[in-house]
Amino acid sequence: MRRTSVLLRTRGLFTVMKLEDAIEHDSREMSSRAVFMGTSVPIELLFEFLQDDQTVETFLDQFPMVSRDQARAVLGASKNMLLCAARSWPW
């Protein structure tokens, strides 16, 4: 399994969060979808909130079991993967 860490910056301080500390698969679901670690909140729900012009704050208010660092790690990893893919895209 490939390990991914995300650098998080909060108020000028940097911390590293391993993506495997933010995400797990919900084995109770047949689809075994990705959820925030220690919760049953699907990762895709964060992106749906953002697509609907809602804020991360709104998401965290509605799902207080998800930590800010977990949400930021998922967004940071998504950004990194997108930028990496864009570099190798045949323009």
Which contiguous run of DSSP H or E holds residue 78?
A: helix 68-87
- Residue for token digits 């570099």? 87
Q: Is the pTM of this model over 0.75?
A: no
Domain extent, residue 45, equals: 5-82
Q: Quote the CA–CA distance of 88 and 80 in Å, as a whole number.
A: 13
Q: State yes or no: pLDDT of 25 exceeds 80.
A: no
What is the CATH number for 49? 1.10.10
Q: State yes or no: pLDDT of 14 exceeds 60.
A: no
pLDDT for the residue 30 = 57
Percent of all residues in the chain with a pLDDT value above 90, rounded to a whole number: 44
* Number of domains within the chain: 1
Q: Kindly state the DSSP code that residue 42 receives in the 8-state scheme.
A: B
Domain for residue 60, yes or no? yes
pLDDT for the residue 29 = 59
Instruction: Write out the two tokens for 7.
Output: 């650098």
Q: State yes or no: pLDDT of 27 exceeds 70.
A: no
Q: Quote the CA–CA distance of 25 and 32 in Å, as a whole number.
A: 5
Domain for residue 65, yes or no? yes
Domain for residue 9, yes or no? yes
CA geometry: angle 48, 54, 55, nearest 5 deg: 110
Domain for residue 89, yes or no? no
